[in-house]
Structure 1
Amino acid sequence: MFTAHRSPERPDLLAQVERMKEIALRHAGDSERGRTLAPPVVDALRSSGLLKMCAPREVGGAEIDPLTHVEIAEAAARIDTSTGWSLSINAYSAACAGAYLPDAGVERVFRDGFPVVAGALSPMGTARRVPGGYVIRGRWAFGSAIRHAAWVISVAVLAPEDGQPPAAVPGVIAFLIEREHVRIEDTWDTAGMRGTGSDHYRVDDAFVAEELTFPFPNAPAQRGGLVFSLPTLPSVMPAHVGFALGVAQRALDELLPMASRRVNLWTSASVADSPAFQMDLGRAAVKLAAARDHAFSVIGSAWDRFNAGEPLSNEDNSAIRLAGAYATDVAAEVTTFAYRAAGAGVLYASCPLQQYFRDIYGATQHIAVSDDAYQAFGRLRLGHDVSHPLFAPRPRSANRDGES
């Protein structure tokens, strides 16, 4: 059993998600049709304070604990998938800027108030060192929530210095760049996750000052509490777990009234009165509850040990990654059951269940919850090394030594 240190802001933040419900539901179709989060929902996110939830207190954030992040992502996705996904991307991206940038970089990014930050943390570009910073070039995929962002965060591989051979293991940096220097490509015409605006984007030889960069993936935290000393993998996984759980819960929410209204033309009986349906519903509900309990146990117990001063082991990191993959797989299974049991009415675009079906399968394609999480955990249990840069512990920066 875990005790899991929880954020004091948790009740207020969950209440803010509930207050956004009407706006998010009203504009869910607009987000789908526009292929990015609808402006009224963006405005509601900004005014709610939810975009600050992950950031350090020094920049106005709540620096929520991992389990609170699961719960908020779950609650938001249960209302609207596009809102839930975009919220987590924007909140986590801003948190990275607030926690890991040097002081001069934070002053620039946060000088006009709390920023909306988006992007992709995959090393798809190159960074060439020049006096005072880097020249960045690259093209990134899956820039979720980028169209309403003021700043974009991305990751680039360091190019060899002039006259130097390529490094065996090249360095990697994360960088922040104002969106006006980024070219967004209209590529997000997809079957699932349509409302998240996850377009490709390019940076073409733009200068980025040193102060707007930090090492990736294990930069030391420059500000904020213990949560910013977590390795990268366990810091991003709560959003994926919560999103998947919220999708499946909403699918069951939508199914129940539809099953009561639907009549089987062969038997003239309500689908809801079918013993077979009732059994399948019970199985789906308990599978989802078990996946949720498993994720909370794995993440919560690891967070407890981390709070007690224990570094996360490869087994901790692998188990957290596996919990995310498993929660997503179970959510897809439960949502598929709901979709098939709902009948032909689910085909209409006006039925939210068809969106949740498409969106959970979109989420299954994310690298963070890919199937090889199972293989990696199996390899670990067999005694093989499964270390990875995303599992690497973060060193504490010199100016934070001695802090509790």
Structure 2
Amino acid sequence: MSTSHRSPARADLLAQVERIKEIALRHADDSERGRTLAPPVVDALRASGLLKMCAPREVGGDEIDPLTHLEIAEAAARIDTATGWSLSINAYSAACAGAYLPDAGVERVFQRGFPIVAGALLPAGVARRVPGGYVIRGRWAFGSAIRHAGWVISSAAVAPEDGQPPAEGPGLITFLIEREHVRIEDTWDTSGMRGTGSDHYQVEDAFVAEELTFPFSNAPAQRGGLVFSLPTLPSVMPAHVGFALGVAQRALDELLPMASRRVNMWTSTRVADSPAFQMDLGRAAAKLAATRAYAFSVIGSVWDRFNAGGPLSIEEHSAIRLAGAHATDVAAEVTTFAYRAAGASVLYASCPLQQYFRDIHGATQHIAVSDDAYQAFGRLRLGHDVSHPLFAPRSPRDSVGGE
């Protein structure tokens, strides 16, 4: 595990995660039933300062490094999946606003204190150029944590003018819009990740000023340190890896006391006393620990390499994708073992283990950790080109200093 280039705020932020544990656990069922993060948990996150963890120091953030983000996502998901997922979404979304918006845009978004930002970054709308900005129309899916956000971040394709490609400027933009101009659809009735509030949402011909936009997906950092010069994929993957690891570890946490109480009706012995169960538990723990070490090694080495200067290679991008998919798959495997071994009591909604089983299988469907990461890595090893726009380096800063 890399220990260089780590955030000085790491210990305090991990302590803050521990401080919100009680309230997150107390309201976990409320988030699940309400299908969005419970208001007391949102208030606790805001008061803790954790929502600022990813943002540039110029806007009040901590500028955490990727490994610290992984650890915080892991710790939060181990407490409550909705809390862990929403925290990473809100923190990263606010960081994008703080790092990549022009100065005038930052002044607007941050003028009433540190904002809660959420949304979906994949381009799913259309932006039509008008004087001073764009008129946006579109519908986006999976707007995690959007119901408690004040600002929504999304991306859109810039419409051609007079049937021609835009003469200048980006073909894709990311934009910030106040939530009052967004229509949230009540679509998030799901089996997994219920507490994350990942509803669809629409923007219908809303004006967005130029100052509230930046290019997708390689915008140059306008403020902050080197971490904001990372391309998109290495920026978002630590949260996915940490979430998966935290879910699996919580599943094992829940299993141990249940196995000690559960009696096999066929043998009249405790499950915890079964040599077969003990062997499976040891294997699950080893798989999870090895996966964690592998993920830290890959992400840590890429972060160290980036600090040494120069763009990341296709091999490094592919390795990060592979680590994310692998961590999620192993987490699903370990959590499934825990679910199966816990017995019929796991079926009750009051058992956290059934929620963690549903949530990790929900997380396996995310595009960032999809199965084709394995194929892409294999193709790369065989000498094929697996380049992708999300692997592209960010544009150079415009006279903005780094760390």
TM-score, structure 1 normalization: 0.98
CA contact (8 A) 2:220 2:398 kept: no
Letter of the aligned partner of 2:226 in structure 1?
L
Unaligned 5+ segments in structure 1 are: none
CA contact (8 A) 2:153 2:177 kept: yes
User: 1:31-53: per-residue Cα shift (whole Å, max 9, x none)?
Assistant: 00000000000000000000000
The residue number in structure 2 matching 1:299 is 299
Letter of the aligned partner of 1:210 in structure 2?
E
What SS does structure 2 have at the residue aligned with 1:288? helix
User: 1:98-127: per-residue Cα shift (whole Å, max 9, x none)?
Assistant: 000000000000000000000001111010
The residue number in structure 2 matching 1:216 is 216
What SS does structure 1 have at the residue aligned with 2:302? helix
The residue number in structure 2 matching 1:390 is 390
What SS does structure 1 have at the residue aligned with 2:320? helix
The residue number in structure 2 matching 1:255 is 255
Give me the whole-angstrom Cα distance separating, in 2, the residues matched to 1:364 and 1:112: 37
Deviation at 1:166, TM superposition (A): 8.3
Letter of the aligned partner of 1:28 in structure 2?
A
- Aligned CA-pair RMSD: 1.3
CA contact (8 A) 1:4 1:303 kept: no
Q: How does 1:5-404 map to 2 (within 5 A)?
A: 5-164=5-164, 171-400=171-400, 403-404=402-403
User: 1:210-258: per-residue Cα shift (whole Å, max 9, x none)?
Assistant: 0000001000000000000000000000000000000000000000000
C-alpha spacing 1:17/1:370, structure 2 compared with 1 (3 Å): same
Q: Which has the higher mean CA deviation after the structures are superposed, 157-166 or 336-345?
A: 157-166
Deviation at 1:165, TM superposition (A): 5.6
Deviation at 1:308, TM superposition (A): 1.0
Deviation at 1:399, TM superposition (A): 1.9
What SS does structure 2 have at the residue aligned with 1:398? coil
Deviation at 1:27, TM superposition (A): 0.1
Give me the whole-angstrom Cα distance separating, in 2, the residues matched to 1:14 and 1:310: 31
Give me the whole-angstrom Cα distance separating, in 2, the residues matched to 1:365 and 1:31: 21
CA contact (8 A) 1:233 1:390 kept: yes
Give me the whole-angstrom Cα distance separating, in 2, the residues matched to 1:95 and 1:319: 24
C-alpha spacing 1:155/1:165, structure 2 compared with 1 (3 Å): closer
What SS does structure 1 have at the residue aligned with 2:393? coil
CA contact (8 A) 1:3 1:301 kept: no
Letter of the aligned partner of 1:260 in structure 2?
S
Letter of the aligned partner of 2:62 in structure 1?
A
Deviation at 1:180, TM superposition (A): 0.1
Letter of the aligned partner of 1:336 in structure 2?
T
CA contact (8 A) 1:291 1:330 kept: yes
Give me the whole-angstrom Cα distance separating, in 2, the residues matched to 1:224 and 1:30: 37
Give me the whole-angstrom Cα distance separating, in 2, the residues matched to 1:209 and 1:383: 45
Deviation at 1:383, TM superposition (A): 1.0
Deviation at 1:14, TM superposition (A): 0.2
Deviation at 1:162, TM superposition (A): 2.5
Unaligned 5+ segments in structure 2 are: none
Give me the whole-angstrom Cα distance separating, in 1, the residues matched to 2:243 and 2:52: 18
Deviation at 1:311, TM superposition (A): 1.8
Q: Percent identity?
A: 88
CA contact (8 A) 1:298 1:319 kept: yes
Letter of the aligned partner of 1:289 in structure 2?
A
Give me the whole-angstrom Cα distance separating, in 2, the residues matched to 1:254 and 1:4: 34
CA contact (8 A) 2:2 2:296 kept: no
Give me the whole-angstrom Cα distance separating, in 2, the residues matched to 1:119 and 1:41: 19
Give me the whole-angstrom Cα distance separating, in 1, the residues matched to 2:67 and 2:14: 12
Give me the whole-angstrom Cα distance separating, in 2, the residues matched to 1:342 and 1:151: 42
Letter of the aligned partner of 1:9 in structure 2?
A
Letter of the aligned partner of 2:79 in structure 1?
I
Give me the whole-angstrom Cα distance separating, in 1, the residues matched to 2:40 and 2:248: 25
C-alpha spacing 1:303/1:129, structure 2 compared with 1 (3 Å): same
Give me the whole-angstrom Cα distance separating, in 2, the residues matched to 1:4 and 1:385: 32
Give me the whole-angstrom Cα distance separating, in 2, the residues matched to 1:317 and 1:385: 12
TM-score, structure 2 normalization: 0.98
Deviation at 1:362, TM superposition (A): 0.4
What SS does structure 2 have at the residue aligned with 1:399? coil
